[in-house]
Amino acid sequence: MKIVKVSGDVSIKRSVDSGTADQRAAVQKIIADVRASGDAAVKAYTEKFDRVLLSSFQVERSEVDEAYKQVSDQMVEVIREAAENIWSYHEKQQRPSWMTTEDNGTILGQKVTPLDSAGVYVPGGTAAYPSSVLMNVIPAKVAGVKRIVMVSPPSSDGKLPAGVLVAADIAGVEEIYKIGGAQAVAALAYGTESIQSVDKITGPGNIYVALAKREVFGDVDIDMIAGPSEIAVLADETAKADEVAADLLSQAEHDVRASSVLVTTSPTLAEAVQSEVAAQLSVLPRKEIAGRSIEDFGAIYLAKDLDEAVEVVNQLAPEHLEIVTGNAMGLLGKIRHAGAIFIGRYSSEPVGDYFAGPNHVLPTNGTARFSSPLSVEDFQKKSSIIVYSEEAIREHGAKIAEFARLEGLEAHARAVETRLKKF
Amino acid sequence: MKIVKVSGDVSIKRSVDSGTADQRAAVQKIIADVRASGDAAVKAYTEKFDRVLLSSFQVERSEVDEAYKQVSDQMVEVIREAAENIWSYHEKQQRPSWMTTEDNGTILGQKVTPLDSAGVYVPGGTAAYPSSVLMNVIPAKVAGVKRIVMVSPPSSDGKLPAGVLVAADIAGVEEIYKIGGAQAVAALAYGTESIQSVDKITGPGNIYVALAKREVFGDVDIDMIAGPSEIAVLADETAKADEVAADLLSQAEHDVRASSVLVTTSPTLAEAVQSEVAAQLSVLPRKEIAGRSIEDFGAIYLAKDLDEAVEVVNQLAPEHLEIVTGNAMGLLGKIRHAGAIFIGRYSSEPVGDYFAGPNHVLPTNGTARFSSPLSVEDFQKKSSIIVYSEEAIREHGAKIAEFARLEGLEAHARAVETRLKKF
């Protein structure tokens, strides 16, 4: 891990995969086929890509019951406790409809309504994370979404991972389909004979899933397209090098394109973390992945003071930020861009991945500049409410008509005047 | 305007323009050119499309002062009053950062932070609406965005409409560029020598602007891609036919692709509105546009009762909904999908376009199923806050490590255990 003195703009080597022209064409063809042929196309693509011919896509209750037998009781309890924490945090994001009343009788407000339906994509293979099921489903549940559909590509024996099924059941999903890839996204967006379409699709996936989500966006809503995971640790001399190194590696093991960065004011810590990373890396099961990630996208930035360090963090706009400094809370107000902020040495990033409660679906790739963690609001929409009173239209009607005429919209002016002329 | 009895699903003829392959290629080339050549490319495209060669893009203060002379004092006052109403409504959308504390010392929360910068696109020509400036800029201002940039294509004499400049000044915009089209979107997204990039681009535009926004999405945030305007009026026998007809026409005059629909339980009202629309249409300045819109996308749906009528409205998911029934407020809870809901006969839709306060940037094309009006939240983002206490990690650390191992992420488990082993 290189140690680099901060000077001016910190240019970050980012890695965005927006797909090749071939991949985009392939995804467009899959979506067109599913729209044209429905279940038959989904079945054919599932056979082609997942190497299993399914007679029916939907997961049966017996499969969920079977899954419980394959997960230890203790682990089931941990998943339940995590689900409760996630539920409890997300409930606090709930915001009621509101209104204001004016003396003249006018009422203005905002109505909050859950989406009718949501679809959650859960990747297959080694990226099939039960925690990801909880993090996507629970906000939708808290939001009040009545129909939540989960899709995930089956293994070649036609099954989904036990942990994923258990997590889905604990989160309260009652409709699960064993389909994946662009064909699953297309089925969720446009519906097939056996799968009704949904209003929004969330959840991570490979490049084909990401491209398919981008393609259907507008016909249905999607969450942000996720990039590789990122962590920045902002630390001074009070931080423990072994803890910082372990947290950096916990991101690095996700993906060779993950980015782990330390920003510190302490040359001593910089060097200590450098050797700790090397030492801990050498004994990690996923050391190939983590090693390449650290090599290609890892860095230790040495800043001259905390202000400069904070500025580096804001330029990075990291998905995860840990602040491990003497007065960590004092820096919170200065952090403008970060998906999740972990404060103090006990707030190790995995605490947030699984258990504490806040969502682990976070803006990556610098999009924390303008995006937020997945939340209850992502599964609700608002409607403005306008109850204009007779008194109000009497008082303001002529002005509204004048404004409409300034914009050349005569019918707008006349609509208001149709009322005015009756007074 | 046809009268149609509701039976089963109401299938709506929608009109989405997602552009031709040629248009998409043109937009991609413009964006690539602006990224490669900056100001020079923007200047060349402005000369090509707007037929004016500009030595500098930025609007000078003297041009704003000049604009004030071209707008009547009375109109300036109306714009000011509208701006105050819009400000006042949007302030109520503000939501503070929050936190919860637990007995063991853990703090969880959510920090709300404004975007650093936002760019507002204002269309040129006859679609240059001062109200659109207010509706896009004021939420960003209320959100706390420090740098707000406005762009709008100049007329061939190198000027912007006076009303637009006055509205921008009243809304508090200090940085305005006379550029439009895909080249303006590219300049806002990626920056040029003279224009710094922004974090989010909002505002309506033609198909090239819409395609460009879709293209840069991800590198910067965008608002929804706007489709043609829509209104649905839900009315019973208490509604006045002339008022309903006038409101339907106020949408129809926007665009030949606009959609104006009446859903009513009253055959008498249906017929009366039908003849009122014909009569009022014949004397409208924009009768060509409104006439085609009514012909192609207008309809009167006759429902057997209010429940059925409400169901039709929810299927339509209209941008604007007016409820003009005996007990209009009583129906509010049943409306699941609508961008803005106008209640009672005095809440004519233009009241919301200009003056009442709620935003007129609303989800079109059925996207009210999952989208919301433009709001203060669109110009802020959230960061999760996790301050995990020593006691909390002592109590829950082993469970978190277990969850990580279930997902095969050993470095995640070790990060937590690095703390645990020191207790």
CA distance B270 to chain A (A): 18
| Interface predicted TM-score (ipTM) | 0.94
Q: Is B259 one of the annotated binding-site residues?
A: no
Average pLDDT for chain A: 94
Report strand pairing: B230-235 vs B259-264: parallel
Chain B neighbors of A106, CB-CB under 8 A: 356
Which CATH architecture best describes the domain A227-369? Answer: 3-Layer(aba) Sandwich (3.40)
Q: Respond yes or no: is residue A391 known to be catalytic.
A: no
CA distance A262 to chain B (A): 15
Q: Is A337 one of the annotated binding-site residues?
A: no
Q: Is A315 one of the annotated binding-site residues?
A: no
Question: Which of these CATH numbers, 3.30.1540.10, 3.40.190.10, 3.40.50.80, 3.40.50.1980, describes A21-98+113-222?
Answer: 3.40.50.1980
- The H or E element containing residue A67 is helix A61-70
Structure tokens at B49: 């499309």
CA distance B2 to chain A (A): 21
Q: Spot the catalytic one: A90, A253, A320, A360.
A: A320
Chain A neighbors of B100, CB-CB under 8 A: 92
> Binning pLDDT at 50, 70 and 90, where does residue A14 land?
low
Interface of B with A in 28-67 (CB under 8 A): none
- Please give the Cα distance from B153 to B212 (Å, whole number): 15
Tens digit of each residue's pLDDT, chain B (423 residues): 899 988 876 756 565 667 888 999 999 999 999 999 999 999 999 999 999 999 899 999 999 999 999 999 999 999 999 999 999 999 999 999 999 999 999 999 999 999 999 999 999 877 678 999 999 999 999 999 999 999 999 999 999 999 999 999 999 999 999 999 999 999 999 999 999 999 999 998 889 999 999 899 888 999 987 778 899 999 999 999 999 999 999 999 998 999 999 999 999 999 999 999 999 999 999 999 999 999 999 999 999 999 999 999 999 999 999 999 999 999 999 999 999 999 999 999 999 999 999 999 999 988 999 999 999 999 999 999 999 999 999 999 999 999 999 999 999 999 999 999 999
Interface residue of B106, B146, B406, B410 to substitute, partner A, most A CBs within 10 Å = B406
Mean local confidence (pLDDT), A320-325: 98
CA-closest candidate to residue A294, choices A306, A312, A276: A276
Question: In the prediction, which pLDDT does A229 show?
Answer: 87
Question: In the prediction, which pLDDT does A128 show?
Answer: 76
Say yes or no for a CB contact (<8 Å) between A345 and B419. yes
Asked if B79 is an interface residue toward chain A (Cβ–Cβ < 8 A), one would say yes
Mean local confidence (pLDDT), A262-271: 97
Structure tokens at B30: 């413009």
Question: In the prediction, which pLDDT does A245 show?
Answer: 98
Asked if A359 is an interface residue toward chain B (Cβ–Cβ < 8 A), one would say yes
- Please give the Cα distance from A107 to A100 (Å, whole number): 6
Q: What number does CATH give the domain B21-95+113-222? A: 3.40.50.1980
Q: Is A196 one of the annotated binding-site residues?
A: no
Chain A neighbors of B250, CB-CB under 8 A: 409, 411-412, 414-415
Say yes or no for a CB contact (<8 Å) between B385 and A354. no
Asked if A15 is an interface residue toward chain B (Cβ–Cβ < 8 A), one would say no
Report strand pairing: B147-151 vs B117-121: parallel
Q: Which residues of B are catalytic?
A: 319-320
Question: In the prediction, which pLDDT does A15 show?
Answer: 53
Interface residue of A321, A385, A420 to substitute, partner B, most B CBs within 10 Å = A385
Q: Is B215 one of the annotated binding-site residues?
A: no
Residues in chain A: 423
Say yes or no for a CB contact (<8 Å) between A355 and B290. no
Separation in Å, CA B177 to CA A94, A278, A281, B54, B161: 39, 51, 51, 11, 13
Q: Is the pLDDT of residue A17 over 80?
A: no
Asked if B336 is an interface residue toward chain A (Cβ–Cβ < 8 A), one would say yes
Read off the pLDDT of residues A196-251 as tens digits, 9 standing for 90 and up.
Answer: 999 999 998 889 999 999 899 888 999 987 788 899 999 999 999 999 999 999 99
- Please give the Cα distance from B265 to B302 (Å, whole number): 6
Interface residue of B343, B381, B394 to substitute, partner A, most A CBs within 10 Å = B381
Would you tell me how many other CB atoms lie within 10 Å of the CB of residue A30? 26
Say yes or no for a CB contact (<8 Å) between B249 and A390. no
Break chain A into its structural domains and give their ranges: 21-98+113-222, 227-369, 388-420
Q: Is A339:A373 a contact under the CB 8 Å cutoff?
A: yes
Chain A neighbors of B387, CB-CB under 8 A: 329, 342-344, 347
Least confident of A10-19, A46-55, B360-369, B373-382: A10-19
Mean local confidence (pLDDT), A257-272: 96
For residue B180, is it left (φ>0), alpha (ψ between -120 and 50) or beta?
Answer: beta
Which CATH architecture best describes the domain B3-16+227-356? Answer: 3-Layer(aba) Sandwich (3.40)
Would you tell me how many other CB atoms lie within 10 Å of the CB of residue B116? 17
Say yes or no for a CB contact (<8 Å) between A404 and B354. yes
Q: Is the pLDDT of residue A34 over 90?
A: yes
CB-side neighbour CA atoms (13 Å) of B401:
18
Read off the pLDDT of residues B218-251 as tens digits, 9 standing for 90 and up.
Answer: 889 999 877 788 999 999 999 999 999 999 999 9
Asked if B94 is an interface residue toward chain A (Cβ–Cβ < 8 A), one would say no
In order, the DSSP letters of A181-229 are HHHHHHHHHH--SSS---SEEE----HHHHHHHHHHBTTBEE-PPP---
CA distance B153 to chain A (A): 17
Of A340, A351, A407, the CB nearest to B400: A351
Asked if A390 is an interface residue toward chain B (Cβ–Cβ < 8 A), one would say yes
Strand partners for B177: B58, B151
In this chain, the answer to whether the domains covering B3-16+227-356 and B21-95+113-222 adopt an identical fold is: yes
Q: Spot the catalytic one: A319, A322, A337, A349.
A: A319
Say yes or no for a CB contact (<8 Å) between A403 and B82. yes
Three-state SS sequence of chain B: CCEEECCCCCCCCCCCCCCCHHHHHHHHHHHHHHHHHCHHHHHHHHHHHHCCCCCCCECCHHHHHHHHHHCCHHHHHHHHHHHHHHHHHHHCCCCCCEEEECCCCCEEEEEEEECCEEEEECCCHHHCCHHHHHHHHHHHHHHCCCEEEEECCCCCCCCCCHHHHHHHHHHCCCEEECCCHHHHHHHHHHCCCCCCCCCEEECCCCHHHHHHHHHHECCEEECCCCCCCEEEEEECCCCCHHHHHHHHHHHHCCCCCCEEEEEECCHHHHHHHHHHHHHHHHCCCCHHHHHHHHHHHCEEEECCCHHHHHHHHHHHCCCEEEEECCCCHHHHHHCCCCCEEEECCCCCHHHHHHCCCCCCCCCCCCHHHCCCCCCHHHHEEEEEEEECCHHHHHHHHHHHHHHHHHCCCHHHHHHHHHHHCCC
Would you tell me how many other CB atoms lie within 10 Å of the CB of residue A107? 17
Asked if A399 is an interface residue toward chain B (Cβ–Cβ < 8 A), one would say yes
- Please give the Cα distance from B271 to B259 (Å, whole number): 19
Of A116, A382, A404, the CB nearest to B350: A404
CA distance A318 to chain B (A): 11
Report strand pairing: B320-324 vs B299-302: unpaired
Q: DSSP character for A47?
A: H
Instruction: Please tell me which residue of chain B has the smallest CA distance to A375.
Output: B382
Asked if A285 is an interface residue toward chain B (Cβ–Cβ < 8 A), one would say yes
Of A343, A384, A412, the CB nearest to B358: A384
Asked if B356 is an interface residue toward chain A (Cβ–Cβ < 8 A), one would say yes
Question: In the prediction, which pLDDT does B225 show?
Answer: 76
Chain A neighbors of B336, CB-CB under 8 A: 113, 116
Say yes or no for a CB contact (<8 Å) between B416 and A351. yes
Question: In the prediction, which pLDDT does A11 show?
Answer: 58
Which residues neighbour B395 within 8 Å (Cβ) at sequence distance 6 or greater? B104
Read off the pLDDT of residues B137-170 as tens digits, 9 standing for 90 and up.
Answer: 999 999 999 999 999 999 999 999 999 999 999 9
Mean local confidence (pLDDT), A348-364: 95
Q: Is A384:B361 a contact under the CB 8 Å cutoff?
A: no
Say yes or no for a CB contact (<8 Å) between A411 and B252. yes
